[in-house]
């Protein structure tokens, strides 16, 4: 069976660096951090004092107040980013094409904020005062559900929940839907609003979060002095489209998505498999699926969380996949600036990978000061660098042993 070619024709993002994709990217290549003091909840209650929060986000710019009130924050983010992506793609959805346009958006933890607030209401006032919208606001698939309702997209409608691999798995799964012919367009990515009391408490309890109180230096992937990730929030949504469909309507094409790899560690609920064995296989699969050789990859947007084991084992996995070429390609972690957006990370980082290809520029890993002997690759330290990028991969690795990699290429007719 001939695989249909799939391209990216629209992007939309909300990140700690900006409330649209281009502003976020401009700040990324400028090496600006979106991390600041933890303000959404009381920082005095937690050892983690910093977070990567959205700034000046107003859902009512895109969603009517009465509708926004029936959504958890993660769904507001998803709907907003999806509307931006569809507008960017100049895509019109109507009765003639709605059944061939699908939505596949994931969230790692869903409506945690809604759950907390409604549980407090239940404890104080009983079940009768719990909102009738509680369940539909909380469940992770509601981002997909609401986006499809807002846009009128009636095709494949699904949701992936694979912790921090969610966004990348969602994009990869949506890519395969189009490639096999089940849809012509997919609106896909991830969304997350995890800066809540219980989510932060949980990640603090398992010592995953950085306790560095300095927002400027708390996220330092691959640096020897890293001590945990910084919680972030936002959404990254892409419009994927079958190539001939995109060409027929004169769509702008950012890049071509050509490969997807998804694996399981079968090892531990939170720790990555030794030497990144699962991530190594995901990268190999994504490169092979794209019909490429390892030496053809120019750039890796790494998972790069700023935790001890992730960064060390992801580096080991890259060396295993690429051999000597590992020292010739560029690897960077944009989480050094955005923090870790959990289920939204893969969506946002896919956009950054596409923009890196488009603009021939490598985004930096900021706060890289003290080399770690076990992390000895080219992490594009502290400053962006010009480089022609013909092919790149984006990695996401999640609790539960989920590993996902997607491969993008410069679009060539």
CATH of residue 328: 3.40.47.10
DSSP E strand stretches across 41-106: 50-51, 101-106
Query: In the structure, what pLDDT confidence band is assigned to residue 86 with cuts at 50, 70 and 90?
Result: very high
pLDDT at 1: 62
- Read off the pTM: 0.98
CB-count exposure of residue 358 (10 Å: 0-12, 13-18, 19+): middle
- How many angstroms separate the CA atoms of 247 and 249, rounded? 5
Query: In the structure, what pLDDT confidence band is assigned to residue 215 with cuts at 50, 70 and 90?
Result: very high
The per-residue pLDDT of the chain, averaged, comes to 97
Alpha helix (H) residue ranges in 164-292: 166-179, 197-205, 243-248, 277-289
Residue 230 clears pLDDT 70, i.e. is over it: yes
Residue 46, both tokens? 């937690």
pLDDT at 2: 80
Averaged over 230-246, what is the pLDDT? 98
User: Could you read off the pLDDT of 104-140 as tens digits, one per residue?
Assistant: 999 999 999 999 999 999 999 999 999 999 999 999 9
What is the domain count for the chain? 1
Averaged over 352-360, what is the pLDDT? 98
pLDDT at 175: 98
Residue 332 clears pLDDT 70, i.e. is over it: yes
Q: Any idea which residue has 């090496």 for tokens?
A: 31
User: Could you read off the pLDDT of 268-324 as tens digits, one per residue?
Assistant: 999 999 999 999 999 999 999 999 999 999 999 999 999 999 999 999 999 999 999
User: Using the 8-state DSSP alphabet, how is residue 372 labeled?
Assistant: B
Q: What contacts 263, CB < 8 A, 6 or more positions away?
A: 278, 279, 281, 282, 285, 403
Domain that residue 43 falls in: 1-413
Averaged over 34-56, what is the pLDDT? 97
pLDDT at 413: 85
Query: Are 409 and 172 a contacting pair, CB within 8 Å?
Result: no
Averaged over 334-355, what is the pLDDT? 98
Averaged over 17-26, what is the pLDDT? 98
Q: What contacts 10, CB < 8 A, 6 or more positions away?
A: 85, 86, 87, 88, 89, 90, 91, 238, 239
Catalytic residues: 164
- How many angstroms separate the CA atoms of 116 and 137, rounded? 12
């Amino acid at each position: 069976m001939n695989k249909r070619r799939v391209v990216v024709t629209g992007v939309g993002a909300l990140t700690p660096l900006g409330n649209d994709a281009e502003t976020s990217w401009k700040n990324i290549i400028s090496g600006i951090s979106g991390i600041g003091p933890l303000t959404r909840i009381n920082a005095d209650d937690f050892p983690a004092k910093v977070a990567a929060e959205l700034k000046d986000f107003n859902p009512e710019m895109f969603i009517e107040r009465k509708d926004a009130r029936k959504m958890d924050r993660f769904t507001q983010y998803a709907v907003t980013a999806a509307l931006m992506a569809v507008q960017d793609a100049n895509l019109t959805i109507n009765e003639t094409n709605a059944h061939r346009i699908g939505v596949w958006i994931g969230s790692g933890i869903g409506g945690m904020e809604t759950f907390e607030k409604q549980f407090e209401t239940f404890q104080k006032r009983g079940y009768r005062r719990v909102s009738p919208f509680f369940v539909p606001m909380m469940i992770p698939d509601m981002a997909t559900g609401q986006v499809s309702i807002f846009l009128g997209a009636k095709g494949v409608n699904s949701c992936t929940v694979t912790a921090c691999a969610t966004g990348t798995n969602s994009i990869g799964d949506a890519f395969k839907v189009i490639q096999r012919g089940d849809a012509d367009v997919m609106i896909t990515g991830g969304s997350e609003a995890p800066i809540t009391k219980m989510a932060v408490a949980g990640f603090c309890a398992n010592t995953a979060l950085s306790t560095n109180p300095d927002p400027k230096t708390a996220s330092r992937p691959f640096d020897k002095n890293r001590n945990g990730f910084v919680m972030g929030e936002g959404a990254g949504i892409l419009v994927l489209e079958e190539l001939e469909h995109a060409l027929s309507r004169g769509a702008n094409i950012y890049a071509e998505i050509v490969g997807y790899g998804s694996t399981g560690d079968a090892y531990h609920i939170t720790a990555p498999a030794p030497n990144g064995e699962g991530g190594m296989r995901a990268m190999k699969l994504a490169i092979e699926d794209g019909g490429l050789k390892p030496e053809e990859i120019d750039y890796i947007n790494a998972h790069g969380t700023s935790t001890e084991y992730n960064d060390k084992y992801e580096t080991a996995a890259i060396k295993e996949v690429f051999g000597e070429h590992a020292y010739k390609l560029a690897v960077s972690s944009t989480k050094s600036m955005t923090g870790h957006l959990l289920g939204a990370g893969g969506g946002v980082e896919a956009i950054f990978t596409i923009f890196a290809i488009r603009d021939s520029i490598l985004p930096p890993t900021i706060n890289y000061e003290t080399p770690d002997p076990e992390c000895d690759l080219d992490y594009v330290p502290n400053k962006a660098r010009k480089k022609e990028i013909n092919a790149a991969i984006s990695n996401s690795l999640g609790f539960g042993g989920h590993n996902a990699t997607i491969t993008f290429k410069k679009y060539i007719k």
